Structure 1
Amino acid sequence: MMLLFWMAILVCMIWFYSRLWERNIQKNAEIIYELPHKPVQEDDQIEFWIRIENKSYFPIPLIHINQLLPEGLRWIYDQQAKQKLSIRTYLLPKQRVRKRYRIRCLKRGYYFFEPVRCVLYDGIGLNEVHIDLPTDTRLLVRPQPMEEEFASFSLTELSGEYILYRWYHGDETRISGVREYTANDPYKQIDWKATAKTRKLMVKEYDTTSQTSIHVMLNLQSHDYFRLGIKKEIVDLQCRVAAAIFLKAQESGFPYGLFSNAAWSGPGVLKIEPNCSYDHLDFLLSLLGKIKSFPSCPFSSVLKKYNDDNISKTNHLIILTSFWNKEITERIGSIIKRGSHVSVIAFPHSQERIFKWKRKYPFTCLKS
């Protein structure tokens, strides 16, 4: 009789421990993802740390974690690329574990990680807890700039076209701002007030009387009805070429901007005014990673707005398109008549249509 009594007490204690363990563990298990802060672009492999923490006074004899990655990312685990990662480990009371993995970024995009599916076991077989832990983790993957052949095509031709419109030296009567000193700057350009404020050697930056601006225009439309027939792989290719043009323009000192009918998080049509700085370059490359792969309006609407707002003989419009029709031809014709220089880079799927129209502007076909 006494044996049965103590056995009943033991069973009650085990049951009570299991219930107490369940209530405590649900609130005190935590998973945090640690991603690099530096910019990431396509084809990069990055270190990815997973921090698993048990904040309770109870042990977790077994924890099973399943994480499904977004479509454009892959785990590199045991020399294999996987979309789903499975982890099994244990945690003592108040213990924290950090595990390192590698992720390969296959495609550009702004990725949100789904909540982590975890299964926690009490170790005695009476209880298991299923919880979804939010990670609040995001990863921006920028496009990998394409080889320079298309960027060089546009900007080299531009220099020859507009050499008479551009001054070799800035006009000293027109100060546009200040920047950090470089080895090629003369001492007379040093701005001592700005140097004293920033504690860095700063020089005056002069504006030019006439300066060429590069306007890159992305057309995501690929059908007469703009919401149909979207091809994400062509959009990704356009973003790679645009990134190469921006890099080349920054190196050459040309102001550059972006116009597009792409859907984005901002209001109205995507329009980023030309500028030339590394902060501007960083912003545009990040924007190319974030834009969605479908248009918000017909491309002809963007051309009309551009025709109304941005015409100048010193503007060079570089159109990256996978679609062409008569209305686009007419809009571009009116832009050319008002003085802007236009170049077109045609992507697969649009080239047959483009050949039907007479052209009076530089034109290049991009091979698939």
Structure 2
Amino acid sequence: MLIIWIVFGAVFLFYLQKWIYGHYWEKDLSAELSFSRESAVEGEVCQLSERVENGKLLPLPMLKVKFQVSRKLRFSDEGDGAVTDKYYRNDILSLGPRQRVIRTIPFVCGARGYFRLREMDLVAADLFLTREMISSATADSTLYVYPAPVSGVELDSALQKLNGEILAKRHMLEDPFEYRGIREYAPYDEMKTINWKATARTGDLMVNIRNYTSLRAVRIFLNLADTGILKNEQLVELCISIAARFAGELLEQGIRVAVYANGEDVLTGDPMKMQPSAGPGHMESINRAFARISLEEGVYPFGELFRGELEEEGKDMATLFLSVDRSPEFQEDIRTFARMGTDFTWMCPLFPRMESHVEEEEALHFIRLDAEEMLNGK
């Protein structure tokens, strides 16, 4: 008889704890995921904070915390996670009454991007681990990963040369609204520069001498299309990194910078159009815009998208094109721009084994860069 009562009591306790856990396991249970920083640079180490608190007297012998993040964030401790198109992590905890557990999980920012934690799943078990109960918790934390700086002998040389030309041009542009005197006409002078009143007064052709003005801005155009048969995202990412480095160097010198890219912003769905500025925080805005560019759904047609910007009067602007796309359509866009008489440079990172397939490279101001050297230096 005693054995029967023991068995009955065990069965009663089993179903009682099962009922209790089924109704109260979520009570006063909170969980939070957050990145340790708002922004980082590709290749840096960051941390993910995982905080779980059980505020009731009922213990939780097993609690699984499940969430997913981009596989571009590489965790050194993969736990019970799996990596496919995303990284699915599964951490197992044990919480006593009114206990808080905080875990700090390091990871490497493997690539540029905008990463957001949206939610996580909590899976608890009863005392005998015979039943699992599932709930979801909100997680709202974001991380901007900026493009990493790049260097290389060819790139450094090309950027130094271009930077020198820009600095020289800052004080060589004539301002059509300010004059500093008149002089005698020379054969190379344009008719519109002739001062007819001074000519009538002196009897000789006289022309106006204009003051010089500063370079208004530097425009960086990124064509992020990859029209080759074999897609190579590394080269496209190199273009973004080169643009970030050059924009930073120019802004440090007080030169206004505009950046245009035909990639889609993951938040707005619009292409990147950063208007000229040299104000505080402009580089931060550029880096954040770079981080939000997504290449997964393709890009906008370059020539069609930036026709208005390309047709702008650019005599007091320097223009840099960055593109691994060497398609006939893009080359024609460059030729059309070249006919306007505006100074520009087209930089293209390629691997040594790749052919450029660019006709009239000199006319298109084409500069080939060694992508392998730059990638090895990252």
The TM-score normalised by the length of structure 2 is 0.75
1:220 touches 1:230 (CA, 8 Å); kept in 2? Answer: no
2:4 paired with 1:4: yes
Displacement of 1:7 after TM fit?
Answer: 4.6
Displacement of 1:85 after TM fit?
Answer: 4.5
2:70 touches 2:115 (CA, 8 Å); kept in 1? Answer: yes
- Which residue number corresponds to residue 360 of structure 1? 363
- Which residue number corresponds to residue 280 of structure 2? 278
Mapped partners of 1:87, 1:270: distance in 2: 38
Report the structure, 1 or 2, having the larger strand content.
Answer: 2
- Which residue number corresponds to residue 55 of structure 2? 55
Mapped partners of 1:317, 1:286: distance in 2: 22
Mapped partners of 2:213, 2:126: distance in 1: 75
Mapped partners of 1:78, 1:324: distance in 2: 40
% of aligned pairs identical? 17
2:222 touches 2:323 (CA, 8 Å); kept in 1? Answer: yes
- Which residue number corresponds to residue 188 of structure 1? none
The worse-fitting range, judged by mean Cα deviation, of 81-90 and 358-367 is 81-90
- Which residue number corresponds to residue 166 of structure 2? 158
2:326 touches 2:358 (CA, 8 Å); kept in 1? Answer: no
Mapped partners of 2:368, 2:4: distance in 1: 87
Residue type at the aligned position of 1:341: D
Structure 2 unpaired stretches of 5+: 179-211, 372-378
Match of 2:101 among 97, 101, 122: 97
- Which residue number corresponds to residue 240 of structure 2? 239
State the aligned residue count.
324
1:343 touches 1:363 (CA, 8 Å); kept in 2? Answer: yes
- Which residue number corresponds to residue 198 of structure 2? none
1:215 touches 1:315 (CA, 8 Å); kept in 2? Answer: yes
Residue type at the aligned position of 1:32: E
Aligned CA distance change for structure 1 residues 11 and 330 (closer, same or farther; 3 Å): closer
The worse-fitting range, judged by mean Cα deviation, of 63-72 and 2-11 is 2-11
Deviations 1:249-298 (A, max 9, x none): 11111100111211224465432111002311101001111101154322
Residue type at the aligned position of 1:285: N
Tell me which structure has the larger Cα radius of gyration.
Answer: 2
Displacement of 1:213 after TM fit?
Answer: 0.9
Aligned CA distance change for structure 1 residues 156 and 266 (closer, same or farther; 3 Å): farther
- Which residue number corresponds to residue 342 of structure 1? 344
Displacement of 1:210 after TM fit?
Answer: 3.5
Mapped partners of 2:302, 2:145: distance in 1: 26
Match of 2:132 among 125, 128, 134: 128
Aligned CA distance change for structure 1 residues 166 and 143 (closer, same or farther; 3 Å): farther
Structure 1 unpaired stretches of 5+: 172-207
The TM-score normalised by the length of structure 1 is 0.76
Match of 2:316 among 301, 314, 317: 314
Mapped partners of 2:76, 2:19: distance in 1: 38
2:28 paired with 1:36: no
RMSD (Å), alpha carbons: 3.2
2:91 paired with 1:87: yes
- Which residue number corresponds to residue 257 of structure 1? 258
2:224 touches 2:262 (CA, 8 Å); kept in 1? Answer: yes
Residue type at the aligned position of 2:17: Y
Query: Matched residue of 1:323: which SS?
Result: coil
Deviations 1:13-53 (A, max 9, x none): 33122212122214543321121234211000012221012
Mapped partners of 2:300, 2:26: distance in 1: 47
